[in-house]
Structure 1
C-alpha cells in the first residue's frame, strides 16, 4: 500500500512541477511580447518615453488585480526584449529594424525555437539578475547558458557572477596550454585554471587538514564552483599498494568524462615534487579502481599559488592527465579581472 501512496505523491509532484513550468513559460513569453510592443511603439515614434508611465497608471487604475506591471517592470520588459532580440539576432545572423526582424540566413522558426529553448528555461528573476548584473552580451549569454545547463537557482547565479566566473574562465583559457599540458580538449574545457572558495571562511593561515574538512562541510558549494558533472565519492579515499595504505584527499567521479578525478590539496605554492605523488595515485586508481569502460583517471592539484613556467616544466614529460589550478579563499576583484579581460580582447584584436 505504501508503494501505491508513493506513486500518487510522485504524480502530484510531477503535475505541480509541470504546472509551474508552464506558468513560467507563459509569463516569459508574455513579458517578451509586452516588451516587444513597447519597443516598437517607441522606435517608430508612436509613443514617447512618458507613455510607459501612463500605461502603468492605466493598468493600475483599470485592472488593479494585475500585479507586476508597474512603470519599472514595464521598462524591464522592454529591456528584456531589446537585450535578447539583439543578442540572438547576432547569433543567428539576423538583422533587426525598427519594426521587424529581417531574415538573412536562418528560418524564423529556428530563431524562435532557439530563443524559447533558452529564455523560458529560467525564471523572470534569473533574467532580472542577468540584465542588472552583467555588462556585455557575451557575459549575459555565458551565464544564461550556464543557468540552463546546470539548473542554477537565482542565489547560485548571483554567487557565480559575484565570483567573476565569466572573467576567470575567459582569462583561464589563455593559461590552459601551461597548466593543462597533458589534458585532453574535453578536460581542458571542464576544469579551470583558478577556483574561488570564499564560502569556506578559512583563516589566512590554514593547513591542509583544515582545507579538506572545510571543503567536505561545504560540498554543495564546492561542486557548484567545480562545475556540473562531479559526483563526490569520498574524502581520504584509501588505496592499498604493496601492503601499504595511501589516502587521496578527495575523490570524485565525472559523469561527462566518465573517469575518476583525484584532488590533491596543497596550502602552499606549487612545487614539482607534488606531481610525483599525484601520478602515483592516478596509476593506483587506474590499476585497482577504474572499470574497463571508464577513461583514465584525472588528477587535480589545488595549490595556493602557481608559477606558470615551473608548472610547464614539471608537466612537460608527465604522462597522466593532470591539471594544476590555483585556489583563493576570497572573492576576486571583479573590476581588475574585467580590466585584464578588456586588455586581452584588445590585444587579440590588434593581432587579428
Structure 2
C-alpha cells in the first residue's frame, strides 16, 4: 500500500532543496566572477612590468588565450581575457581582492560598460536586491533609470543611490517622469486609444511592474466604485507593499487637463475614506499622460500636495540625448 506523504513536509523538503540549488548556483557564479577578477588583476600586473605595454599586452593575451583554451577549453578567447582585464580595471578602485561578487559574470559584463562609478554601483545594488535577470538589467540601464530617479532627488539623496540603491520612504520615491513603455510595441506616432494602451499594459504586466519599480502588486483593471447611483472606473489599481498604500493610475493619450487632475483627486479621496484600512497610508494617484503643462499641474493641485502626480510616458526607448531633451521639455 502506497504511503501518503503530508503536504507540509513535502513542501518543506522541496523548499530546502530548491534553496540549496540556488545557493550552489550563487556560489559557483561568485567563485567564477572572483576568479575572472583575479585573472584580470594578474594580466594588468604583468602588463605593467612589460617594456612596451601596448604591444606586450596584446602578445600576452594572445599567448594566454592559446594555452588556456588548449588546457581548459572554451571561455578563454582573447576577447574574454580582454574583458577580464577590463573588469579588474573597472572594479579595482571600489573592490578588494577578497570582496564578494554577488551577481553573475554576465551581469558584470553589462555593468562594466558604465563609466561612472556611482551609476555602476547603483545598478549593481538594484540588480542584486531585485534579482534582475540580464534582460531586466539591460532594460533598466537602457531606459536611464538612474537618471530618472536623480531628477526627483536633492544632492544628498543622489549620493545615497550609489550607496544604498533606491530607498522607498514616501510617495515621491516611486514617481518617474517620464515612464518608458517601449516594451508595449506601440509606435510613437501611431493612432491608438487609451483602451488599447491599457490593454497592452495588461498584456505586458510583468514588464510594466518592472517599470513602476519596487514593491508594486497588481490589484485590478477598470476597478469600479459607486456612490449616489453614479459609477466610476479607475484604469489601473496597484498596491505598494513598501509604502503600504493603494496606487491608482489613470492613462491619458493626450495632454493632462485640470479636469483629469480633479477626477484623480476624487478617486484618491474615495479610496482614502472608503477603501483603505486604518493602518494603511494615504492613497497615491498617478496620471500617466502623453504630455503635461507643469504650471497647470502646480496651480491645480494643493501647495502641499504629496498624493497626486502627473508623469509623461513615451513608447520608444530614447537615446541618452533624446532622453535629456524630454527632461528639459
Smaller-chain TM-score bracket:
0.7 to 0.9
Q: What TM-score do the two structures reach when normalised by structure 2?
A: 0.83
* 3-state SS of paired residue (2:224): strand
| Cα 1:318/1:216, change in 2 over 3 Å | farther
| Cα 1:229/1:170, change in 2 over 3 Å | same
RMSD of aligned Cα (Å): 2.6
Which residue number in structure 2 is paired with residue 162 of structure 1?
A: 142
Q: Does 1:37 align with 2:42?
A: yes
Kindly state the Cα deviation for residue 41 of structure 1 after the two structures are TM-superposed: 2.1
| Cα 1:73/1:338, change in 2 over 3 Å | farther
Once the two structures are superposed, residues 124-171 of structure 1 have per-residue CA deviations (whole angstroms, 9 ceiling, x without a partner) of 001112224x34333322322221222110011112222233333334
Match of 1:73 among 69, 80, 104: 80
* 3-state SS of paired residue (2:250): strand
**Map of 1:171-250 to 2, 5 A cutoff?**
171=151, 173=153, 186-202=170-186, 204-250=190-236
Q: Does 1:17 align with 2:26?
A: no
Which residue number in structure 2 is paired with residue 293 of structure 1?
A: 279
Q: What TM-score do the two structures reach when normalised by structure 1?
A: 0.78
Contact 1:172 1:194 in 2 (8 A): no
| Cα 1:185/1:23, change in 2 over 3 Å | closer
**Map of 1:27-66 to 2, 5 A cutoff?**
27-45=32-50, 48-49=56-57, 50-61=59-70, 63=71, 65-66=72-73
How many residue pairs end up in the alignment?
A: 304
**Counterparts of 2:296 and 2:234 in 1: how far apart (Å)?**
24
**Counterparts of 1:339 and 1:191 in 2: how far apart (Å)?**
19
Structure 2 unaligned runs (5+)? 155-167
Tell which deviates more after alignment, 268-277 or 46-55. Answer: 46-55
Which residue number in structure 1 is paired with residue 128 of structure 2?
A: 148
**Counterparts of 1:7 and 1:170 in 2: how far apart (Å)?**
43
Contact 2:224 2:233 in 1 (8 A): yes
Tell which deviates more after alignment, 312-321 or 147-156. Answer: 312-321
